[in-house]
Amino acid sequence: MIKQRIIELLAQAADKAQKSGKLPSVAVPEITIEHPQNPEHGDYASSLPLKLARATGASPLAIAEDLVGLMAPAPEVETATVAPPGFINFTLKDAWLTRQVDAILPAGESYGNIDLGQASRVQLEFVSVNPTGPLHVGHGRGAILGNTLANVLSAAGYKVEKEYYVNDAGSQIDAFNRSLYARYQQGLKVDAEMPADGYLGDYIVDLAKEIIADEGDKFLSLPEKEAVAEIGKLGLAKMLAQIKGDLELLGVGFDVWFRERDLFEQGQYEKVMSLLREGGYIAEREGATWFVSTALGEDKDNVVVRSDGSPTYFATDIAYHYNKFIQRKFDRVINIWGADHQGHISRMKAVVQALGISPERLVVIISQMVTLSRGGEVVKLSKRSGDIITLRELIDEVGADACRFFFAARSADSQMDFDLELAKKQSADNPVYYVQYAHARIASILRLAQDKKIDYSTGDVSLLTTGPELTLIRKMLLLPEVIEMVAQALEPHHLAYYAQDLATVFHSFYKQCRVVSDDEALSKARLKLVAAARLTLARTLHLMGMTAPDKM
RNA sequence: GCCCCUGUAGCUCAGUUGGAUAGAGCACCAGCCUCCGGAGCUGGUUGCGAGCGUUCGAGUCGCUCCAGGGGCGCCA
């Protein structure tokens, strides 16, 4: 990556300056470079002299002059100049830029890959919605966030495993089972009341009908407890299949579907509890069992086993993270949770610490609420009210690509308002079409070249000398940097902005530069350029889980 | 009361881990097709919630307010 090259050049110059005594031997701060917003300042700029000035007391301009003077000449760099109050600005060589087209083309769909992760193992757990109801719009946001992040982390050299944690034990699934049983009875004209904590959504009625169609009335003759368990099992399978299907519509898939029940059936729950007990993190009081998180600086302790002997969600999550870190030995675990789980983070980190694992290895990304409105009127998201807008409905209305782009384009930290009417009305103006249109346009140009039987493999990229051409190349070269930024900050939304930027510079290039013309040599060079642009754009879209259409 | 997130253009949002003159889309206005896809291109208008502080330099960091959302359960 060219960015790394420039950082190296600076580091070497600083080292030389210190060895020659021009610069006092202080610790060199981390060298960062950025893209100046003013293009007159070049392609890259560093404020290293300003930082060294603080550490050494010397004049930043003098330091900058020394560093530039000591810098080795590089084939990539046209100029390195000093600018007040102490910046060093770098401008890339046009000839080097154009050569990059020949580097991008053979890389193909691997263009942009970097080795930030060095094959370290990252687990990304996301969605993990209780299989007690259909996915809604907020879940879609988490799904796309997680899936896009997984794609980018893979591109950044991490070994990524995507996992869905299936809560198939506990009180919520219990309420689901009892609700389904009640609807089953009602469907067979048996007088039954919905449980007080039951799920009132119509989908439960539909599930019950399906079960009646499949299995008839045979569960009526079973004892209630047994019937609830049997029907629950069927309902869970149907619910999971539905969830899986919805996610597939968005192109979101998982490597592992991890069952909460396994934590009990395979002894991990018992194991981790005894570990914590040995560590002195467990206390009995008020008839319940507590995790003493106050010993680790938390505000309060948390119940792990209720006074009726049943484990809490927190307890199983402890076992689950024991499994992730100690049994499966992931280097890093990233969980994507909804905003309502925010309070769960610090105690989970405390547990990880109690298990002897550095808490930094557990990263929790909170995806903020999605509020839905329809025609300016707020729609409640409650899964229990039955009045929900499902993810499936959203996909049907605006399409999978638009869903992906729309959700991926927003920082997880910001809550978003999703107006369904607006989404429908604006679907043709959605930025997703702008980006995909650029791709289709390029594909169309390449088709034309093919029709005219132009073999551009021998094109001479050094003929690409105009502003729009170089601007396009510069933008294409940013993809590895974007991947690095997304992977480091765990913020996929940068990808969406990059996609738009890239499309913009392409459209602008297209307007100013005729690709297929009478000038055969120039045509071939430009065909190479647009072929590389197509690759870059397609890669970006694919990282976002979107299609890169050749025709629209 | 305590904790987390957010507050940037009329609207929806970015802002490269503290950099130089704060950007994009939508909307609005004015232009642009003899030629590879006009779902496009080129211009134009407006802004960092408030106040202190840290330093060469703050939308970004710290503190205090104000506003919106979420959490603080032997729910998940």
Residue A295 and residue A275: Cα distance in Å, rounded?
A: 16
Distance in angstroms: CA A39, C1' B21:
11
Give the Cβ contact number of residue A5 at 10 Å. Answer: 15
Closest Cα partner for A485 from A97, A252, A91, A155? A155
Stated in angstroms, how far is A300 CA from B2 C1'? 12
d(CA A133, CA A246): 12
| Strand B lies under 7 A from the Cβ of residue A511 | yes
Under 8 Å between Cβ of A408 and A496: yes
Question: So what's the pLDDT on residue A431?
Answer: 86
CA of A170 and C1' of B71: distance in angstroms?
Answer: 21
* Cβ atoms A240, A131 nearer than 8 A: yes
Taking the C1' atom of every nucleotide in all shown strands and the CA of A90, the nearest one is: B20
Distance CA A204, CA A182 (A): 10
How many Å from the CA of A451 to C1' of B43? 37
Omega prior to A85 cis, within 30 of 0? yes
Residue nearest to nucleotide B7 (CA to C1'): A414
Q: For residue A8, give the 3-state DSSP assignment.
A: helix
A59 CB and strand B closer than 7 A: no
Q: Of chain A residues 124-143, which have a beta carbon within 7 Å of strand B?
A: 130
Are A517 and A525 contacting, i.e. CB atoms less than 8 angstroms apart? no
**Rounded Cα gap, residues A489 and A135, in angstroms:** 27
Q: Which nucleotides of B are covered by protein (CB under 7 A)?
A: 2-7, 12-27, 35-42, 55-57, 68-76
Tokens in use for A439?
A: 């791709």
Q: Which nucleotide is at minimal CA–C1' distance from A416?
A: B12
Strand B close residues, chain A 321-340, CB < 7 angstroms: 339-340
So what's the pLDDT on residue A290? 96
HSE (side-chain half, CA atoms, 13 Å) at A436? 20
Amino acid at A514: R
> Which residue pairs, CB below 8 angstroms and at least 24 apart, start in A313-317?
A313/A167, A313/A170, A314/A344, A314/A347, A315/A269, A315/A273, A316/A169, A316/A170, A316/A260, A316/A263, A316/A264, A316/A269, A317/A344, A317/A348
State whether residue A308 is helix, strand or coil. Answer: coil
CA distance A538 to A544: 10
Q: What angle do CA A108, A113, A116 make, to 5 degrees?
A: 170
Give the model's pLDDT for residue A428: 67
**Would you list the DSSP string of A355-415?**
TT--GGGEEEEEEPPEEEEETTEEE---TTTS---BHHHHHHHH-HHHHHHHHHTS-TTS-
A454 touches strand B (CB under 7 A): no
Positions 230-289 in A, CB within 7 angstroms of strand B: 286-288
Structure tokens at A302: 């948390």
Q: Read off the tokens for A396.
A: 């049907």
Nucleotide nearest to A260 (CA to C1'): B76
CA of A312 to C1' of B55 (A): 50
- Which of residues 302 to 321 on A have a Cβ less than 7 angstroms from any strand B atom? 302-303, 306-308, 312-314
Tell me the mean pLDDT per 10 residues along chain A, length 552: 92 91 84 89 93 86 92 92 92 95 95 96 96 91 96 97 94 93 96 90 93 96 95 96 96 97 93 94 94 89 94 95 97 95 93 94 94 67 54 87 91 84 70 92 95 93 94 95 96 95 94 93 96 97 95 88
Is residue A476 within 8 Å of A530, Cβ to Cβ? no
Task: Specify the pLDDT at position A385.
Answer: 39
Separation of A249 CA and B38 C1' (Å): 32
- What are the CA-CA distances from residue A251 to residues A412, A483, A491 (Å)? 20, 20, 19
Average pLDDT, chain A: 92
| CA/C1' separation A411–B60 (Å) | 16
Amino acid A299: pLDDT: 86
A504 touches strand B (CB under 7 A): yes
